[in-house]
Structure formats: structure tokens, C-alpha cells
Amino acid sequence: MIYNRSLCWLRRDLRLDDNTALSFATQKSKKVFIVFVFDICILKKLKDKDDRRVTFIVHSLKELSSKLRVKKSDLLVRIGNPIDEIPKLASELKVNAVFANRDYEPYAKKRDLKVSKRLLANGIDFKSYKDQVIFEYPEIISGQGRPYRVYTPYKNNWLKNMGPQHISDQVVNFKALASLRNINPHIIKWSFSTLGFKESSLWLEAGETAAQKRLKNFKKLENNYFDNRNFPCIEDGTSGLSVHLRFGTISIRHLIRSTQNNNIGVKTWLSELIWRDFYQTILDQFPHVVRKCFQVECDQIEWPGKNRHFDLWCEGMTGYPLIDSAMRHFNKTGWMHNRLRMIVASFLTKDLLVDWRKGENWFARKLLDFDLAANNGGWQWSASTGCDAQPYFRIFNPITQSKNFDPNGSFIKENIPELSGFSDRRVHWPHDAGIEEQKKAKCFLGKQYPRPVVVHDVQRKKAIELFKAVKT
């Protein structure tokens, strides 16, 4: 069926290249309008008026608009509740169908169901497509016909089933885009102020062009990914593409197409990309994980951690250098290295004995690349409450982790300048330094830098007992 006029609704897919919904819309329609809706239901929950994610979206949309204007078209932007805005705009444009890529978050699924019902009531079709994952449930299932709960067999099945047809480029027919003449009457002015937000600084460039550039740069370094990915002090040790994947300024298919060789670095990176699919499936099929533990018995744990300790963790003032460095860098940039995410999450839950949900919520507030599925999955993995979780009796030692993955203390010294006077060996644990060593380093412990809030070995035993109580 060919529609006369259609609307393509962008959400987590802020790009023109390799966009499934846009591809189908332009193939199945004579004229296609493109819209992005700033969802006030989401915006009103953001606590920081300089939220970096809003800035990233705004810059990405501006680039999209510029690219479309080159093609004699443009982007429509609306601010409001999509349940109202999409049907209203669809009627205003007199479209026959709305095209969109699927989202697997509980809120998004409910939203799309309501939008589709209102559209259908007005005689307008709602077409949704798989785009942000390679496989969605039930394309990959266990031998029992159920969603996988463990990553490795999921990954093996994923690799077994993945073929060229799953990662093919979704070509867009730009000739079908609505002309400026048709679009201009429907354009409204918008800005940071109309959104109720302020522009913030970003540690990376936003937009589709920047995503392609970052991938190109990573391709030069990917062979070293296996060796470098665990060291936060190595500037290009990871791809930095998680933000672009989250907002869809680059497609997952494009990234998978770039991994088709057997280099160990490339294979390791591919494995990380498969984790994204896995966590999306978990969220889609087990939505209780948003508020509860995947392992339901773990909801019996009464976390005894102190609010004061949680606040010190947020501020990067725990007295554990690698933890504090990671959190200070995170608060400053909205970015955290994946190795550090595991270490700080383990520290909060296993050393400070604070409920993982508090840490997850802090990350949800601050992460530029925040993705509900990945954030929840990662936190529950670290807390030993999730699917395929880290066994509860394996607890990261923050000092050992510091020595292993920041061997020269360069990451620590970069973010905690008060410790920069200590030697590379001492900076991992300055608390053993005598008064003369502290004087030489111009850092007195308990003054310029805090004493440790807890003793790791003591807290480790307490954490194990907490889990034993619900596991037996």
C-alpha cells in the first residue's frame, strides 16, 4: 500500500542515514513529513535545568534540520505530550499514516499504544519497526522458547542467527520528503528557553556527522580495544559511541557492519554491542526490573547503608581515590568509563551497603548516555541482583582495581588534584602516608582529602552476610 501523505516520528533515532522507519515511510509514501516531540512527561522529571541530554538532543536536531534544508525539506518540532501532539499534527498535516521505530521501555510502550489508538480512531495507521536492536524478542529465544536470562548462551544464539539481512543499510528515498513549501506553515519557533532549559557543555560533539567521525576514528584504534578498554587513563581506549547509540545519531546496524573481522579487539567490542540487545530484551520481557530486583529474592535485602555515605559517594568524597576520581569526573562531564561504572557500583552496594536503586537513579540523572535498559542491567549486575549477575561473593577491591587499571595514578591525579603530590605508588591509598610524606605532598589527610568512610575488608564480610541471608 502506498500512502499519499505520512509522518515519520523520530525518538531514539536522530539521523537520516540508515533509519528503518524513515526508510519505510519514504518507500511507502508519496510525501513524508518528519517530526520530533520534546516530551514534557520526560522533561518535567529532569532535575537539572542544564541537563546535558537536552543539549545533545537540541544540537542533533539542529543538524538534522540543516541537512534536511539542503534537501529542500525541514524538521518539524513540537513541545508537549506526544499522546496529544502526534495525533494533532497528523490531523493538521492530513497524513494517512505515522511511522516510528520501536522503543522497549515500559513508558514508551504505553505511550505508543495510546498514540496508535488515537490515530486509528482518526483513520490514521500507525506503523512501527525494529531499529535500535539487531534482534528483538522473540527472534532470539532459549531452547525452552523463553527469553534468555543469561548472556553467554544469548550471545552464542545471537551470533549464530545474525546474517547480512539483519544489518543491511535501510536506504531512505529523500525524493519523497515533503517540500519546504509544504512544511513552512507548520514550523514553530523553539529554543532552550521555550523548553525551560539552559545550554550545557558537552564532552563530545552531538549529531549524525559527529557520530560518523567518531566511528571513523575508533576504526583506526579498534584492534587495540581488547588491551585498552579497561584503562580510563587511555583517552581513546573505548569508542565513546554509547551516547550516539542512545540517541540514534548512528545506527546499530552500521556499527555491526564495521565489526566483520576476527581481530580480538573487534570481537570484544562486538560482544559489548550484543550486551545492548540483551539488556533491551530483559527490559522488554521483564519490566519489573525497573523498580525491583531481577532476582526476586534479593528484594528481601534490607540495605543498611547511610544516607550520608551515599551523599559522599555522589560527591566523590569517600576517601577511596579511584572511587572519588570516577565520581568527580562523572559529575563534571556526564561520562563514566565502563570499568569505573562497575567499580563505583560495587563500592556503593558492597562497601557502603546502599540500595543499588539509589545509585541507578543518580546515574539516570547525570549520565549523558543514559539508557534505562543498559543502566538498570549494569547496576543490577554489579549489585548481584540482576540477570547473569556478578556472584555476590565476588566483590571488587577498590584499591586493587585502582592499581590494576590506573597503574600510574594519572586518572586519579587528573580529577583529584589535591592528591597529585603523592607518588604513583602511594596515590592509590594515601592513608598509609606518614605526616612528613603528607607534608611533602601538600595534602593532609582528613583536611585536604577525606579519610576513608568505611573499611573495605569489614564491609565485604557484611555484604556477603546480607546476601547469604536471602540466598539460603
Active site residues: 272, 275, 303, 338, 356, 379
Number of H helices, E strands in the chain: 22, 5
Contact 119, 8 (CB under 8 A): no
Nearest to 265 by CA among 222, 301, 324: 222
Distance from C-alpha of 337 to C-alpha of 71, rounded to nearest angstrom: 38
Of 323, 321, 315, give the one whose Cα is nearest residue 349: 323
* Residue 250: how many other CB atoms lie within 10 Å: 24
- DSSP, res 38: E
Three cell numbers written together for 302: 534490607
* Grid coordinates of 358: 539509589
Q: Which amino acid is at 352?
A: L
DSSP 176: G
Q: Say if residue 435 is exposed, middle or buried (CB neighbours under 10 Å; 0-12, 13-18, 19+).
A: exposed
Phi-psi sector, 388: left (phi>0), alpha (psi -120 to 50), beta = left
Residue 397 three-state SS: coil
If 0-12 CB within 10 Å is exposed, 13-18 middle and 19+ buried, where does residue 471 land?
middle
Alpha helical stretches, state H, 19-144? 20-27, 40-43, 52-70, 82-93, 106-121
- Tell me which DSSP letter residue 304 carries: -
Q: How far is CA 452 from the centre of its chain?
A: 30
What the block records as the C-alpha cell of 159 is 551470533
Three cell numbers written together for 121 = 480512531
SS3 107: helix
